[in-house]
Amino acid sequence: MLLVIDVGNTQTVIGLYDLEPDDEHNVGRTLADTHLLDHWRVATNAERTADEHALVVQEFLGFHGFSFDDDIAGLCVCSSVPRVTGALRRMSERYFGQPAVIVEPGIRTGLPILYDNPKEVGADRIADAVAAFDLFGGPVVVVDFGTATTFEAISAKGEYLGGAIFPGIDISLDALFARAAALRRVELVEPRHVIGRSTVESMQSGVIYGYTGLVDSMVTRIQDELNQKADVVSTGGLSGLITPLSSTITHHEPWLTLHGLRLIYEKNQ
């Protein structure tokens, strides 16, 4: 089994893949959840030690009767939180007996990065780009709804061209609640009307349809700059909310980042 971990600023997603070495032709180019046995989402906590991370992971593995010693062949990590990255390195060395594959400068991805400074590109953005090109070819645009909403553009040749970064839905709402005393938190669901007939419905309309409009506008501008039509893939925690309402998103892959980590792990063996 392969353990992949995507550490975001708000949440951490853990995936467990069956590597199936005798079935390599099915790895990739199908769906991001091909051979994904299970997945778990936990709050990111930079205070956890390597041993505490191991305890959390082992509890999840225990759901399937798996253990570190007998079933885990490797670990691949992308992380936006340096302290968690260090803790996972130590966890892998102590409990797996081998170093983790960390998505960082120097790792093999097969993806030429045309950023002015390639080291600035977030590890999760690289994993998303690797997975999207593997699944759909190029050109392709990835929209990742995480703590930040990010856009990635990948060329027809599989080159990472760059993208855009925008405050995510949750942190935008946090800012609104902090500054507007009369407004309270609302459930993020599609409202009955675009023209809200209550404060709650008005906020839901603004968030859901406003972000959908932002995504569609950005994707259109990116495609104009690419000068060709591109597949558009959504992923991330809130992607399931926006994708059905978008006129530009063509594919929804909730586990895109995990698939990218699996591919990067295989490229580094």
Catalytic residues: 124
Among candidates 192, 170, 174, which has minimal Cα distance to 184? 174
- Residue 50 contacts by C-beta under 8 Å, 6 or more apart in sequence? 87, 88, 89, 90, 91, 94
Taking the C-alpha atoms of residue 207 and residue 240, their distance in angstroms, rounded to an integer, is: 14
Nearest to 32 by CA among 108, 142, 170: 142
d(CA 51, CA 262): 24
Work out the widest C-alpha separation in the chain, in whole angstroms.
60
DSSP-derived pairing of the beta strands 251-252 and 2-7: unpaired
Q: How far is CA 214 from CA 122, 155, 170, in A?
A: 22, 22, 15
Q: Is 108:118 a contact under the CB 8 Å cutoff? A: no
